[in-house]
Structure 1
Amino acid sequence: MLSGRAQITDCAATGAAPGSNACERQTEGAVDDALYGGVLNNDNSGRMSYVQIRYSGYVLSSNSELQSLTLQAVGSATQIDHIMSYNSSDDAVEVFGGHAHVKHFIAVGAEDDNLDTDVGTKANFQYGIVVQRPNIGDAMIEADTDNALDGNNPRQNTRVANFVFFQNSQNSSSDKASILLRGGTDYGLYNSVLVSPTNPCINISRTQTASGTQSVAADEFGAPIFRSVLMQCASTKYIDSGITVGAVASIFGTGSNGNDDAYTPTFTSLFINGANETKVAAFDVSTLNAQLFNGIELTRAGFFDKTSYIGAVKDASDTWYQGWTCNSTAADFGTGNTGLCTSLPTA
């Protein structure tokens, strides 16, 4: 768990303005005061690199849960890279507000969601492999800007690039799809692949989430953005809550911007790009770097790499996932790692 002093919403103090220095939250599950939040969006909570988090997470009560990787109001100067979550009993990662920037993330076997982002975060992720165990787990992505308080600022605006998601279970009755975007969240998914043959792929809830009207005053960046995204879905690909299925499908826009919702996977070794992944032109995510909106830097300068490929692993020579991960029946990351996830690390 890393905590910082960047902006959040859902303030603990009655009357505190969201995004202000007075807006703080208590860490879920903490008995003593463990507050986070403030106005330092470039705050530095240190560095976390080459870390495995195994068998973590616990549901204490409704809306009080211990996650695997937990980032609370972490600022953009914090360095987070090469993190593996294995068999979390809750989410693989949850980001509570702040401006977290994460590179090279692996999640295997989470029992709840995998990328869970909320309370006004401006989070950025690049390069990720997400694999569920059979018949265990919920959404690949769950994003909610501020629970029921859609109008609070800052509004969530998360950007995810070069991820592969493998959903091997049915969604819960609440999320209903592999990707759930709700609560007015802004979101961008780029150069990524979702393999979810037994689930709907996208559920967008509430008209504010689907709104294509950009508004600085409301910190509203517009409708969710999909660029060079491939999806394999169940026969029902899209579902809605408060809008229409047609509107959800239109936001994804299969057949345009490199998006395809009728894709057939051709990965080798589970996640290495094959012919159908390689033929898709990548979106240049480096154009998102240092972008400002409403006076706030959405992505720190130099964070996103320009890639010539979609997905997380270009080909067999691309081995960023080796040497620091562990292997399991759900996902094998090759030789030269730390051994089985069920054993103590050997290197």
Structure 2
Amino acid sequence: MARGGKIYAMGEPNMPIIFTSVQDNISSADLLTYEDRGLWGGIILLGAAVTNNAGDASGDWKEIEGVNEILPSGDTRAQYGGTDDNDSSGIMRYVSIRHTGINIGESDGNEIQGLTLGGVGAGTTLEYIESYSSGDDGVEFFGGNVNLKYFVSAFNSDDAVDWDQGYRGKGQFWFVIQGTDAAGGAAEQDGAGGDENTEPFAKPYVYNATYIGGGASNTPDGDRAEMLMFRDNTGGFYHNSIFTDYNSTSGGYALTIEDIDNTGSKPLDSRQRFEAGDLGLTHNLWYGFGAGNAPAQFVNPGLENQAAIIDYLVANGNVVEDPMIAGIERSTSPSGGLDPRPTGNSPAFTMTRAAYPNDAFYTPVDFVGAFGRDNWAAGWTALAHAGYFGNIATGQTVDVEDGFAQLPQQVELAQNFPNP
């Protein structure tokens, strides 16, 4: 969707809008698996909001990678960015984007994300969005300040979430699950694509994320040492979230805040944003990392200021404890074993939470992580369609006192399979 255009893709819980490959027969039980990636491009929305990486002399726009290589010379449809943070690219709601990530253009490395957002403004509505089985990132924000609520990034090849070029939006209820073959981390948080000291700095505010890696006992072949990477002078905040079950061959850490020369003197690392109060992680649950579960193990030990980061985490309500996710499944032949809700006696329901801003975007809840008693991803997602959730129905609740003891053994749900 080019800058100035609008998309209105408004599905419903029992009638999602599905963007997928022609090879994906969604009316058949013989589905593609999440390993069938890169079958087509992806969804690209380009807007007129502010970025910090404009390529023209006036500082108003840049061209999205790959797309600019396949358009005629002088064509402006690949341009994004501008001066209007209230710009609207339309509405997407109950949308599932599947099997994306083909390389476009003449250059290598131009794989398209499941959802690409270039300079998209806050006038855009994105709710109940899934990015499934991408050959690249699940979602990437190139600047702008679009908000995203109820988001699933499942079994994508590279990073589940990626932001850069001064992204400043708001997020809530983000769910990530990675496959055992994931090459990236759960989140790559970058500042800018050019001069990292250019403002506005990337500084999104995310509440209630649940990031599940590819398994603490697995060692994917990717080069991402950590689950969360903050670099290139990015800021950003995660509050009331869960980070769990991650490993890699190059570290298996939970967190790196880049410090280029181990002094904090470089303007292009994120240590400066952390020390300036533009980067924060409060009231989160951390558990299940290949490097170990002690903060001295899962905060990258190669950082000179590792001790300061650990002290900050301890002082700001972070807890190291098993979040007790009800079920995790990554098989390509699912048997209904994925239930991303915490069980009833999980610390997700009892630990101290960060207060929510006085902002109509955020929904205050009594739990940390993306899910409480309700699985809002059931029914309309590829995860549901493929059988990862089994018989879990949207709205089915968890008894806080007794965990799952009070749940029925079977739940009948009309139109549970296949998705329309």
Considering the TM-score relative to the shorter chain, is it more than 0.5? Answer: yes
Q: 1:36 aligns with which of 80, 89, 102?
A: 80
Q: Tell whether 2:352 aligns with 1:310.
A: no
Distance 1:78 1:202, change over 3 A: same
Distance 1:272 1:66, change over 3 A: same
Q: Specify which structure has the higher proportion of strand.
A: 1
Letter in 1 for 2:316: N
Q: 1:222 aligns with which of 274, 277, 281?
A: 277
Q: How many residues align?
A: 313
Letter in 2 for 1:324: W
How far residue 27 of structure 1 moved from its aligned partner, in angstroms, is: 1.6
Assess if the C-alpha contact under 8 Å between 1:325 and 1:337 holds in 2: no
Once structures 1 and 2 are overlaid, which stretch shifts more, 185-194 or 64-73?
64-73
How far residue 240 of structure 1 moved from its aligned partner, in angstroms, is: 6.3
Counterpart for residue 377 of structure 2 = 321
2:382 is paired with a residue whose SS is coil
Q: State the Cα deviation string for residues 179-221 of structure 1 (Å, max 9, x = none).
A: 000011111001100113532100111334122688xxxxxx6
Letter in 1 for 2:309: V
How far residue 312 of structure 1 moved from its aligned partner, in angstroms, is: 1.2
Q: 1:10 aligns with which of 53, 70, 94?
A: 53
Q: 1:23 aligns with which of 60, 81, 87?
A: 60
How far residue 280 of structure 1 moved from its aligned partner, in angstroms, is: 1.2
Structure 1 alignment gaps of length 5 or more: 17-21, 215-220, 290-301
How far residue 136 of structure 1 moved from its aligned partner, in angstroms, is: 2.3
Structure exhibiting the larger radius of gyration computed from Cα positions: 2
Structure 2 alignment gaps of length 5 or more: 1-43, 328-338, 394-412
Counterpart for residue 332 of structure 1 = 389
Assess if the C-alpha contact under 8 Å between 1:156 and 1:185 holds in 2: yes
Q: 1:159 aligns with which of 202, 205, 208?
A: 205
TM-score normalised according to structure 1 size: 0.82
Letter in 1 for 2:232: G
Distance 1:133 1:197, change over 3 A: closer
CA distance in 2, matches of 1:131, 1:121: 23
How far residue 331 of structure 1 moved from its aligned partner, in angstroms, is: 4.0
Counterpart for residue 259 of structure 1 = 318
Q: State the Cα deviation string for residues 258-281 of structure 1 (Å, max 9, x = none).
A: 202x32131224311222221112
Assess if the C-alpha contact under 8 Å between 1:239 and 1:248 holds in 2: no
How far residue 286 of structure 1 moved from its aligned partner, in angstroms, is: 2.4
Matches within 5 A, 1:88-99: 88-99=134-145
2:238 is paired with a residue whose SS is strand
Counterpart for residue 243 of structure 2 = 194
C-alpha RMSD of the superposition: 2.5
Q: Tell whether 2:107 aligns with 1:64.
A: no
How far residue 53 of structure 1 moved from its aligned partner, in angstroms, is: 0.3
Q: Tell whether 2:356 aligns with 1:285.
A: yes
Assess if the C-alpha contact under 8 Å between 2:50 and 2:119 holds in 1: yes
1:104 is paired with a residue whose SS is strand
CA distance in 1, matches of 2:89, 2:243: 31
CA distance in 2, matches of 1:150, 1:337: 51
Counterpart for residue 174 of structure 2 = 128
